[in-house]
Structure formats: structure tokens, C-alpha cells
Amino acid sequence: MHQFEISDLITVVEPGSGRRLPVRRAEVIERLLESGDERGARIVAALPADEDGVLDPHAVDRLLIGVHTELQRLSEELRIGERLVHVLGPLLTAIRSVGARSGPYRLVDVGCGLGYLVRWLAATNALGADVELVGVDLDASLVGEADRLARAEGLDCRFVHGNAFAMPEAATVYVSTGVLHHFRGPALAEFFQAQAASPAQAFCHFDIAATGLAPIGAWVFHRARMRHPLGRHDGVVSARRAHSDETLLRAAAAPGIRPLLYEPRGTANPFGTTLRPVIGVRPHLEAPLRLALGRAARRLVGPEHLAEAAR
């Protein structure tokens, strides 16, 4: 049965303009009940709405900022910044070495939420001064809060409200964390195709590894570290919705892209693998990337590795 994350249902924006659309509480409850999710329906029933039954957009924004603030702890505890730099550092070395494009290079975090990753990269300067850091999100309130936090911390990075693939400035590398499982059906391949069709040199998207332990691990973490029932609910559903290695590699095989997976299932300890990236590079970048990764290149596999492992 299709499972929904409540946060995907309670904010709706017009795809082109990014304009916020009214959301009827009863309709969200109905969708959750139809999917067999009584607990989710109870959580939504407790959210404030006006006399016409339209969810209060300000209350929804405050709630989502609160939930994402709690979610930052997950990024901190999983050391998502360090993990990204572990693969993105060598990837940028590869891009610089082939001289495909001279700097500055632009990193775009798709669906940046509160911008933890971009703010961490700016605070640590881990990728070098020639990398411009930009976070983009369709949600105006999240991206507004990301911008406020970056200014408060005096960080050299930018946040933009809108569709990451409709920006006037091209990215050199697209990254994301915890976003891929939100794209279902054909939308997943379309997500990668949009990047392949752009001038970008590569992408690197981290999401929950679809191991049998992921939903249990997510339940323990969200129970222990998240206070609002919506955060706990969505945390567990997102682990259940995680895409398999095979699905990701198939979807990422867009024209002009060599799809790769770092630490696929079976090569890493299932207790330790929580988030792993699917990487796409222009084909001429694979050899310099492997060189720059050194011994860690053994953990980087293409679709042929999974086909062999299945035999």
C-alpha cells in the first residue's frame, strides 16, 4: 500500500510559480485513511484549520520548521557533512583535474530544507574557496529560515526559493540529502534526467539505504530524538519508502551520465549503513574520480556490479 509522509501532503505549491495553495484538512485525512494510515490521520486532525477547513498555513510552516530543526540532529549524528565531503572532495578534484570547467564551481543542494548541509560546508570551508554554495527549496518558509540562520552565523552561502532545476544559473554539482525517496514512480527518473540535461558535471544524492533494519533504526532514532508526532511518523515512513540500490542505479542512468553507487548493500555493515549516495558523473570523470578516491574507489560500483552480485 502507498505510504504518505504527512509533510508532503500539508504543503502544496504550484510547480511553476512556487505559489502556496490552500490545503483542505479533510482531504489530507481522507488520503491517509485510504492508505490505511489511521495514526497519520489523527496527527493531521489535530492541526489547526479555518472555518472552511483549510489548514492554517502559518501553523503548518511553524510546525515544519520545528520538525526540520529536530531533523538537523539526524544530519549531525550521521555526520552527513563529513560523508558528503568524503566523496565530493575527490569528485571536485576530478572536475578540477580535467579542466572541464574552470572555477568557481557551483554546488546546488536540491531541497535544502533548513540548509544544514550548505551551512555546515560554509562554516568548515571543507570544499575549498572556489566552490560557491547554494541551497534551493520549493518551500518558502524553510528556505527563509535557512537564510536567516546563515546570516546570523555570518556564513558565505546563499539560499533560493524555487525549483532547483529552473534556476537561471547552472550548477556544477547537484547534491541532496533525504530527498530521493520523495520522488515516486516516473518522477525519480525525471529528477535525474533534469540534471543530465543541464550543464552539470555530476550529482551526488544521499538517501536512506533500503536495508531491512532501516525502518527499525528510524523508529528508534525518531522516538528518542524527535518530539512532534509528525516528525516521528514521517521519519519511519521515509525509511520504509527508501529506494533500493537497483532502483536508484536504474533511474540515475540518464543520457550522458555514468551512474554509480557508493557503499551499496552487501559491501557495508548493515548496522552502519544509514545513508549512502547515488552518484552520477559525466563518463570522462569516472577514471579521475576513482584516482582521487584512492583505496575508497573499491566501494564505488556501477550497475554491472549489482547484476554480477545478483547472479
Ligand X SMILES: C[S@@+](CC[C@H](N)C(=O)[O-])C[C@H]1O[C@@H](n2cnc3c(N)ncnc32)[C@H](O)[C@@H]1O
Q: Which is nearer to ligand X, 68 or 243 (CB)?
A: 68
Q: By the 8 A CB rule, do 272 and 86 touch?
A: no
User: Running DSSP on this structure, what letter comes out for residue 164?
Assistant: G
Lookup: cell for 34:
485510504
How far apart, in Å, are the Cα atoms of 310 and each of 119, 242, 244, 266? 40, 20, 13, 11
Is 179 a binding residue for ligand X by CB under 6 A? The answer is yes
Contacts (CB under 6 A) with ligand X, residues 248-267: none
Q: What's the CA angle centered on 223, arms 184 and 85, to 5 degrees?
A: 60
Is 233 a binding residue for ligand X by CB under 6 A? The answer is no
Is 232 a binding residue for ligand X by CB under 6 A? The answer is no
Is 203 a binding residue for ligand X by CB under 6 A? The answer is no
| Sequential DSSP letters for 6-67 | HHHHH-EE-TTT--EE--BHHHHHHHHHHTT-HHHHHHHHTS-B-TTSBB-HHHHHHHHHHH
Q: Which is it for the CA torsion 20, 24, 28, 34, positive or negative?
A: negative
Q: Which is nearer to ligand X, 241 or 293 (CB)?
A: 241
Binding-site size for ligand X (CB under 6 A) equals 20
Task: State the minimum distance, in angstroms, from the CB of residue 266 to ligand X.
Answer: 25
Is 164 a binding residue for ligand X by CB under 6 A? The answer is yes
Give the residue closest to ligand X by C-beta: 111
Q: Which is nearer to ligand X, 23 or 112 (CB)?
A: 112
Task: State the minimum distance, in angstroms, from the CB of residue 273 to ligand X.
Answer: 17
Tell me the C-alpha distance between 254 and 259, whole Å: 8
Contacts (CB under 6 A) with ligand X, residues 87-146: 110-113, 136-139, 142
Is 182 a binding residue for ligand X by CB under 6 A? The answer is yes
- Residue 160, SS3? strand
Contacts (CB under 6 A) with ligand X, residues 53-72: 68, 71
Q: Which is nearer to ligand X, 150 or 179 (CB)?
A: 179
Q: Which is nearer to ligand X, 112 or 260 (CB)?
A: 112
The interface region with ligand X, picked from 28-36, 161-169, 210-218, 274-282 by CB under 6 A, is 161-169
Q: Which residues contact 265 (CB under 8 A, 6 or more apart)?
A: 209, 210, 211, 244, 245, 273
H/E stretch holding 305 reads: helix 303-310
Q: Which is nearer to ligand X, 49 or 208 (CB)?
A: 208
Counted residue by residue, the chain has a size of 311
**Residues at the contact surface with ligand X, assessed by CB under 6 A:** 68, 71, 75, 110-113, 136-139, 142, 163-165, 176-179, 182
